[in-house]
Structures are given as C-alpha cells and as structure tokens.
Amino acid sequence: MKSDGLAIELRGLRKVYTRGKKTTVALDGLDLEVRRGEVFGLLGQNGAGKTTTVEICEGLTQQTAGEARILGRCWRTGMDQEIRARIGVCLQETRFFEKQTVRETLQLFAACQGRGCSVDDALALVSLQEKADARQSQLSGGQRQRLAVALAMLGEPELLFLDEPTTGLDPQSRRQLWDVLRAYQRRGSTVLLTTHYMEEAQVLCDRIGIVDHGKLIALGSPQELIRSLGADTVVEFSVGDVNALDEGAMRQLPGVQSCEIRGGKVTLTVALVHTTVPPLLAWLAQRGAELLELATRHATLEDVFVARTGRHLREEESA
C-alpha cells in the first residue's frame, strides 16, 4: 500500500470555527505527509494553524472537511482506542490536577496508557527527579512543560505530537530534549513538532513544513529550504541615514536575491559575497552613505521563514 511509509497523511484539511456570525478559517486546504521515522517540524506565525493541525491529528478537534490518516487510520471510525494507544501527546497548553504530585500524575497517566516505560525513567528523561514529590502548584513553568513532555513519552508511542515542547525551557533543558528526541527517533519512532525556535527546527528536524494562513507554503529539509532562497549568504549592514537607501536599486546589484530594510538595518541575501560586496560598497560611497557596520553570515532557516511568511508573501498578495 502506498501510504504504508506514512505516519500522518493529511489531504485538503479545512477547519472553520464558527461562533455566531463570526467565522474563522483556521485551516484552508492543508496537505501534508509525515513519513515514518522522521522528525517533522511545523513552523508558522502565531495563528497560522499549527495547533489546529496537530489537534486534528490527535483526534481532539474534528476537521470541517478533508481527510486525516494517522498511522493509516482515521479518527471516529471505531479505531480511536487503537490510535490513542500508539500516540503520545504534548499539548501547547497542558493543565494538570493541581493537588497531585509529579510522580502521582505520571502514575495516573501510566495506568491510562497501560504500557511503556517506568515512571522513574520518565522522570529521568526530563531531569525532574528532584521534583518528583512536589505538587503541580509548586512547579515552575518550565518544570510543568517538562512534565508534559515526560507524559507524552510515557507510553513509548510510535508517533509523538509535541506542540511547542520547548517553549519556556532553559537552554540546557532544551538541548537535553533534543537529545532525547533523537534517541527516540533512532528507535524508529516518528515525531511531529511545532516550534518558534528556528535553530531548533534546523538542528532537530529532518523535514520542515511552513504553515501560513492555514496552508502549507513550503516543505523540505532545512537545507533544501535554505537553498530554495537561491542564495545562501546574508549580508547585513547599517548606514548613517537609512532613508537615503532604496530597496529597488539594491536589488539590482549583482547577485542580490532579496533585500529587506528593518530597524535601520539592511539585510541582503546574496549568492556569492565577493560578487556583491565590492559593487555594494561602491554604490554606497557614490550615494555618500556612511557605513557603520557590515557583516556576512550563512543564511539560516530564519531567513527562509522571514522570506516566506513576511514581506514577500504580502507583496505577492497586494500585487
């Protein structure tokens, strides 16, 4: 069967929220395939539809139209129990029973899951051993988040959904979670995660999908996406008087793919530094602009993200 290699298969997914006369289109015909064994990252601005997508996959939200196949099965076709036994979930916002300790909460969910790793292993996974006997109400935000992640992994699921798992985590905890997820993937499991940290997506994800206004607008490995910019170097500089500059003219300089002026700083994505920088300096000198700062770096996912969801998109819309 064709979809055998797919952990998640979404076809023409639509979700419309209606309250009274007001309707919000959260998903507008989203197609997505997540292969078994990969770590897939969903990126997108606030309100893009990431959580809606993930919650439809988790069976929490019902789509208005379209099809969602999770591990080859659809929700609400009598298979719910089976799917739930095979997935692990970390919601964007998880609230727990306030009066229960961390250990008690884990024990409850372990009993519900019915299989998987021990409570102590789950505690170790997110380094919460010290807080095992603290009540929910005594945990810090990051500690709660780590508990939510531990709960998702408790049943050793084939497919893990993590909605912004590292939001609120300190750098160490974040890196620790990345290691845990990689180890997890090595065992053949699949991960679908959302994040606002581009670095995280870049180092952790095998493939990335960018969602915007309820649609998938870019898909590929981090490298593919960066290459798709047509330029993998970024030149950033600032001058005394930004208003003296003109975007259109800068785009005409050799090798420049895109240009953005924001907060007194100019960002150019270019194919090759040595073909662009000399003419740029000449051009600036000719205008009498005083160069305050100049730096070059490799393009990152963030540049892709800004290019895809930021100015370009709006320019296309208005065009």
Ligand X SMILES: Nc1ncnc2c1ncn2[C@@H]1O[C@H](COP(=O)(O)OP(=O)(O)OP(=O)(O)O)[C@@H](O)[C@H]1O
- Contact footprint for ligand X (CB under 6 A): 17, 24, 26, 44, 46-52, 92
Site string for Mg ion, 43-72 (x = CB under 5 A): -------xx---------------------
Three-class SS state of 69: strand
Contact partner, 48, from Mg ion, another protein, ligand X, none, Cβ < 5-8 Å per class: ligand X
Interacting span for Mg ion (CB under 5 A) from 20-28, 90-98, 138-146, 226-234:
90-98
Binder of another protein out of 93, 120, 133, 199 (CB under 8 A): 93
Regarding 114 and contact with another protein (CB under 8 A), the answer is yes
Q: Are the beta carbons of 232 and 244 closer than 8 angstroms?
A: no
Tokens of 10: 């979404």
Q: Environment class of residue 51 by beta-carbon count within 10 Å: exposed (0-12), middle (13-18) or buried (19+)?
A: buried
CB atoms within 10 A of CB 310: 15
Binder of another protein out of 50, 84, 131, 174 (CB under 8 A): 84
CA distances from 56 to 61, 86, 144, 272, 290 (A): 5, 16, 24, 43, 53
Contact partner, 47, from ligand X, Mg ion, another protein, none, Cβ < 5-8 Å per class: ligand X
Q: Least CB distance from residue 214 to ligand X, whole Å? A: 7
Regarding 81 and contact with another protein (CB under 8 A), the answer is yes
Residue for token digits 């995280």?
A: 200
Contact partner, 49, from Mg ion, another protein, ligand X, none, Cβ < 5-8 Å per class: ligand X
Residue for token digits 């994040």?
A: 195
Regarding 156 and contact with another protein (CB under 8 A), the answer is no
Q: Are the beta carbons of 212 and 26 closer than 8 angstroms?
A: no
Regarding 100 and contact with another protein (CB under 8 A), the answer is yes
Q: Which of 7, 1, 69, 58 is nearest to 206 (CA)?
A: 7
Interacting span for another protein (CB under 8 A) from 22-30, 45-53, 97-105, 300-308:
97-105
Contact partner, 107, from ligand X, another protein, Mg ion, none, Cβ < 5-8 Å per class: another protein
Bridge partners of 215, per DSSP, are 212
Helices (H), the chain: 50-57, 80-86, 102-113, 119-125, 141-153, 171-186, 198-204, 222-228, 247-251, 273-287, 301-309, 311-318
- Among positions 32-71, residues that touch another protein (CB under 8 A) are 58-60
Residues at the site binding another protein, with contacts judged by CB under 8 A: 58-60, 81, 84-85, 87, 89, 91, 93-97, 99-100, 104, 107-109, 111-114, 151, 155
